[in-house]
Structure 1
Amino acid sequence: MGNLFVVYPQCSSDMRGLQLSLNHTQKIRLERAQERLKSLSSKGNSDASVVVADTIPLNYEDGVLKGHGTLDLNGEVVASICGVVERVNKLIYVRALRARYKPEVGDIVVGRVTEVAPKRWRLDINYSQDAVLMLSSMNLPDGIQRRRTAVDELNMRSIFEENDVICAEVRGLQHDGLHLQARSQKYGKLERGQLLIVSPYLIKRRKQHFHHLDQYGIDLILGCNGFIWIGEHVDPKEDAMIEDHVDKPEQKGLKFEGTLGNQVQEVYTPLKTRQNICRTANAIRVLSTLGFIMTVEVIMEIVNLSISLNIDVHEMLGSEFCVLTAEKEVERRSSSKKRG
């Protein structure tokens, strides 16, 4: 039996999709896992996926409110768009898949600087327009709370410049666009890692979007906008100290890499940490390809699965591991349902 060449659509603009050459057995296993996952998404489950004209089962005694993506048809509530059924108290609506990010105040987002403008930076955060981070809405490298001066404005490019990756919080929508803020040590420039982009619907809003994976020495930031950062763990205080040296290279007349001597190890990420970053990134790529909701627990399960099976980092993007990931998700949801 020859191999079956399958291309799965990738939920990311920076990934071109995993081209999987499934053999007959792998194809059957994957289809079986998908059927099992579909059956586990019970009709009463608020996370059930629907397509246009699917009936949305409701308990009419609850006095539910019908929201976006739903309509009445012959006494039943049906979906008018493809997406995931969501319930907020008594409100039922369908959250569209493959839609652009819809920001909410307080969202943790990761973005890339597109422009350094007067008193502000503009960032691409997967929104319909660039977001704005005002100079007055962020901590300065010296950590001192004070009014921003003309000198600070002239030095903006030494803080963030084009293509820098930044973590920030959604402040709100104003007359000139969506505004962000970064008034805490945990926000700011992200370095020594990878930026992945997945569909925003794969990232659920939770109380915690910053994760320090101590056993792997990495930080994981799940941006509500679908931008995910995986990088070497950096203590904010140490990072601020290093920034002070970076901002003043003229003291020695040399670049940062050649000036700190005993701090050079801070510049270079250890090989083991880089491997952990790549392994975690590949776990996210596989989950994104399969369209699975991402939480730190699910991502770590897939990372640990690859380690327990002695699968190399590059082998994680192969067809066999993709099938194993789908089967692992079936196992996880089954056990979760039994506990529930």
Structure 2
Amino acid sequence: MREIELSLTQTQRIRLQRALEKLQNISSKSNANASVTIADSIPVNFEDGVLKGHGTSELDGQVVATVCGVVERVNKLVYVRALRSRYKPETGDILVGRVIEVSQKRWRVEINSNQDAVLMLSSITLPDGIQRRRTPVDELNMRNIFEENDVISAEVRNLQHDGTWQLHARSDKYGKLDRGQLISVPSYLVKRRKQHFHQLDQYGVLLILGCNGYVWVGELIEAKDAMEVDSVKEFENSNTSTSGVYSLLVDEPSYTPLEIRQNICRIANAVRVLSILGFNITVEVILELFDLSTSLNLDIHDMLGAEFCVMVAEKEADRRSTVYKRKG
């Protein structure tokens, strides 16, 4: 568990300590064969030609762990996956990053890793949506697409020969993000899943859980296809109304309704609570905290208070205990 930095009363501290101890006991029982600490022995069969990977070492004829984490086996390779480590990109990861430099035919993006990533001009979908070769005019207009401090979503494409990770944003779901909040959490709290984009239609919120530990909570804006863009071009000078049509070529209203702004703040605070407690961040748990806070009639800022965090820890301990008993 991460260190809890909350202003707790004596009663709250005792309740939180009990909940965390309960969670730790359940975790140690369910992962007794997988979790290791420093100097723990890892059972292997040397006759099978075992390969010792990261986080392992040989001592007195035994393979021991040199870091705290989970033992992973890939064929003959045995290694320890550290629970708390700097984010390491993998091909296909969904990321949320911030543009820090616009250079020749590329943007440099900060992705919460030990080095920045690169997004090439040729790896994005142009605003007109037409597949064509990039021209010098496109290069001159790069700042009209992304500029410094813009928050964007992208996907990891590959690792270049010089050790730089390259991104791409060819799909309509990738691109610039605005009207929302960017939250930084430890990357190990966001597990790789099939879906990292979540459109919460009932709240009007777009939630992106970046594998790099950057979480975006913003207004859900409908994306329109190329036919609608052409329709706007055709009728923009006529008397036909084009209200409600959103595209990169049409000015969108800059106003976000109050209810959606409140939903964004409440979901963002739910993410912060999970980060404070060191719980895995998933859309299911986030929505549970959202519903819990509304059922208790809590103000948005009260979600970051000590009492709510302690209550979340207790409920999570009870939930995991029930699941463990069912499995047992």
TM-score by length of 2: 0.84
Contact 2:5–2:276 (Cα < 8 Å) also in 1: no
The DSSP-based 3-state class of the residue aligned with 1:283 is helix
After superposition, what is the alpha-carbon deviation per residue over 1:192-247, rounded to whole angstroms, capped at 9, x for unaligned? 000011111111111111011122110110111111101011112289989xx9xx
Which letter does structure 2 place at the counterpart of 1:214? D
**Contiguous gaps of at least 5 residues in structure 2:** 246-250
Which letter does structure 1 place at the counterpart of 2:120? M
**Residue from 231, 236, 242 that aligns with 2:223:** 236
The DSSP-based 3-state class of the residue aligned with 1:237 is coil
After superposition, what is the alpha-carbon deviation per residue over 1:251-276, rounded to whole angstroms, capped at 9, x for unaligned? 99xxxxxxx99888831111111111
Please, what is the CA RMSD of the aligned residues?
3.2
Q: How far is the alpha carbon of 1:52 from its aligned partner?
A: 2.0
Within 5 Å, which residues of 2 pair with 1:1-340? 9=3, 19-45=5-31, 50-55=36-41, 67-73=53-59, 77-86=63-72, 92-176=78-162, 177-237=164-224, 266-340=253-327
Q: Could you say which residue in structure 2 is the equivalent of 1:12?
A: none
Distance in structure 1 (CA, Å) of the matches to 2:33 and 2:262: 34
Which letter does structure 1 place at the counterpart of 2:181? Q
Contact 2:65–2:80 (Cα < 8 Å) also in 1: yes
Which letter does structure 2 place at the counterpart of 1:233? L
Distance in structure 1 (CA, Å) of the matches to 2:292 and 2:89: 33
CA, structure 1 residues 47+317, in 2 after alignment: closer, same or farther (shift >3 Å)?
A: farther
Which letter does structure 1 place at the counterpart of 2:133? R
**Contiguous gaps of at least 5 residues in structure 1:** 1-7, 10-17, 253-259
The DSSP-based 3-state class of the residue aligned with 2:114 is coil
Contact 2:129–2:226 (Cα < 8 Å) also in 1: no
Contact 1:139–1:184 (Cα < 8 Å) also in 2: yes
The DSSP-based 3-state class of the residue aligned with 1:114 is strand
Q: How far is the alpha carbon of 1:339 from its aligned partner?
A: 4.4
Distance in structure 1 (CA, Å) of the matches to 2:199 and 2:117: 26
Between stretches 303-312 and 152-161, larger displacement belongs to: 303-312
CA, structure 1 residues 299+157, in 2 after alignment: closer, same or farther (shift >3 Å)?
A: same
Identical counterparts, % of pairs: 65
The DSSP-based 3-state class of the residue aligned with 2:38 is coil
Contact 1:41–1:48 (Cα < 8 Å) also in 2: no
Distance in structure 1 (CA, Å) of the matches to 2:14 and 2:317: 15
CA, structure 1 residues 215+182, in 2 after alignment: closer, same or farther (shift >3 Å)?
A: same
Distance in structure 2 (CA, Å) of the matches to 1:48 and 1:325: 27
After superposition, what is the alpha-carbon deviation per residue over 1:47-75, rounded to whole angstroms, capped at 9, x for unaligned? 9654323456x697xx7875422345567
Distance in structure 2 (CA, Å) of the matches to 1:269 and 1:239: 25
Q: How far is the alpha carbon of 1:335 from its aligned partner?
A: 3.1
CA, structure 1 residues 24+48, in 2 after alignment: closer, same or farther (shift >3 Å)?
A: farther
The DSSP-based 3-state class of the residue aligned with 1:221 is strand
The DSSP-based 3-state class of the residue aligned with 2:108 is strand
After superposition, what is the alpha-carbon deviation per residue over 1:134-178, rounded to whole angstroms, capped at 9, x for unaligned? 000010111111111111111000000000000000001113411
Q: How far is the alpha carbon of 1:331 from its aligned partner?
A: 2.3
CA, structure 1 residues 327+44, in 2 after alignment: closer, same or farther (shift >3 Å)?
A: closer
After superposition, what is the alpha-carbon deviation per residue over 1:87-108, rounded to whole angstroms, capped at 9, x for unaligned? 6677653322442211111110
Contact 2:189–2:280 (Cα < 8 Å) also in 1: yes
Between stretches 156-165 and 121-130, larger displacement belongs to: 121-130
Distance in structure 2 (CA, Å) of the matches to 1:240 and 1:74: 69
TM-score by length of 1: 0.81
Distance in structure 2 (CA, Å) of the matches to 1:267 and 1:239: 22
CA, structure 1 residues 182+271, in 2 after alignment: closer, same or farther (shift >3 Å)?
A: same
Between stretches 93-102 and 322-331, larger displacement belongs to: 93-102
